[in-house]
Amino acid sequence: MGADIKTVDAQESLGGGVIVLTTGLLTYENNLKSNCTQSFFRAPQGKGYHVLNDIFRLVDEFDLQQRHQGLGNGTGAPNAAERDLPPEQEEHAPGPTVPLTVEK
């Protein structure tokens, strides 16, 4: 399995922390590929940072196409009722934070 990072965006945030957003491409052993995105918040800790929040999501183009093709009105565009639906949300159990250090 391999990862190819395409973009990295970072912005200073509350209390000297940094919010980071990355996009990339994962390649599996069978050569299948998946787009992915990851967002995490790095909070200051001593001389470095630790990851306080981390969100990772696979974004498969096939899944996105299926969602648009499967819309109730058959047009590939949401009708008024579909537009008013809240976005899908996934629930995840909180995981442990991982200490990171940054060399200066």
Instruction: Specify the higher pLDDT residue, 56 or 87.
Output: 56
Please report the pLDDT score of residue 37 as a whole number.
95
What are the extents of the domains in the chain? 2-72
pLDDT level of residue 72 (50, 70, 90 thresholds): low
Distance of CA 19 to the CA centre of its chain: 12
Contact between 33 and 27 (Cβ < 8 Å): yes
The residue with greater pLDDT, 24 or 90, is: 24
Q: Is the pTM of this model over 0.75?
A: no
pLDDT at 51: 95
What pLDDT, on the 0 to 100 scale, is given for residue 60? 75
CATH 3.90.950.10, domain 2-72, yes or no: no
pLDDT at 68 > cutoff 60: no
